[in-house]
Amino acid sequence: MRLILLGPPGAGKGTQAQRLISKYRIVHLSTGDMLRAAGAAGTPVGLQAKAKMDRGELVPDDVVVAIIANRIDQPDAKNGFVLDGFPRTVAQAEALDRLLGERSLKLDAVIELAVDEDILLDRIQNRVADMIAHGKTVRSDDNPEVLKGRLAAYRAQTAPLSYYYASKGIRGVVDGMAPVDEVTAAIDRLLAKGRAKGRAKAVKARARKVSPKAKSKAITRPKTKPKARSKPKSKPRSKAASRKTVSRARNKSKDKGGMRKSGHRRRLTKAR
């Protein structure tokens, strides 16, 4: 199972990703987490990314695409993955298509969590307050100012991906404002529907798949001989009976008169 979770920061992608990975035994690939880890490890890429992340800007496409290309080749990703926070631009989505195509892999679904941005801001502020209250470390980009920038970046650069995947027929939208369990149930329904659709497509494709050899045989050599059309059985008529009919018809046409009479008579003469 290969999935993408699409939605602005704070939409609940991380929570749903955790549920999906345990259900489908796949891995959670969050570019945000990977970049934060690289920043904490002090790698050159990580440090460069950190400056952008702290401002709420996107990290360059080639950096994140290289991270994902490397990550999907790891053995633990063989069974599938759920991408969270990637792709974030159309260029990244196109790069992902290429990466998957080169590996003969396909995306199963793109799940978009639709949210109300105003409520979202409150949600994130509450989450931050809760983390501080529990003595947890708060992300440096989880403050109202940076958050507004992240939402603006989402609107401008990531939201177009909704249409990108809708045009490929693999995007499903769920209400991200619903309670967490309801969102999970909606995602389950969406994936079940997608699987049923996939199965029906496969059955149709199998039914349509006739080997070229069998096809040509079917055209040139029909298995069963077409039956000769049998002539409708009619009793041979005696000469006397035929003569009777003709004379009856002649009398009838005499009664009618006009053009038809002469035409009719000509035909009857021939018949005789």
Residues that bind ligand AMP (CB under 6 A): 9, 31-32, 35, 52-53, 56-59, 64, 85-86, 88, 92, 141, 150
Burial of 205 (0-12, 13-18, 19+ CB in 10 A): exposed
Q: Closest distance between ligand AMP and the C-beta of residue 213, in Å?
A: 49
- C-beta of residue 108 within 8 angstroms of C-beta of residue 170: yes
Catalytic residue (one of 127, 148, 195, 237): 127
Q: Which lies closer to ligand AMP via its Cβ, residue 64 or residue 113?
A: 64
CB of 206 to ligand AMP, least distance (A): 38
Residue 5 or 26 with smaller CB distance to ligand AMP: 5
> Which of 2, 36, 88, 171 is an active site residue?
88
CB of 158 to ligand AMP, least distance (A): 8
150 catalytic, yes or no? yes
In the residue annotation, 127 being an active-site residue is answered as yes
The active-site residue out of 52, 123, 139, 250 is: 139
**Is there a catalytic annotation at residue 23?**
no
On the CB side of 230, how many CA atoms lie within 13 Å of its CA?
A: 3
Give least dist CB 38 to ligand AMP, A.
10
Active site residue 243: no
Q: 36 an active-site residue?
A: no
Residues 6+ away with beta carbon under 8 Å from 206: none
Counting other chains too, the contacts that 115-124 makes at CB distance below 8 Å and 24 or more residues apart are 115/7, 115/8, 115/10, 115/11, 115/176, 115/177, 116/177, 117/8, 117/151, 119/177, 120/8, 120/9, 120/10, 120/11, 120/151, 121/10, 121/147, 121/148, 121/151, 123/10, 124/9, 124/10
Nearer to ligand AMP, 56 or 194 (CB): 56
Which residues are part of the catalytic machinery? 13, 88, 127, 139, 150
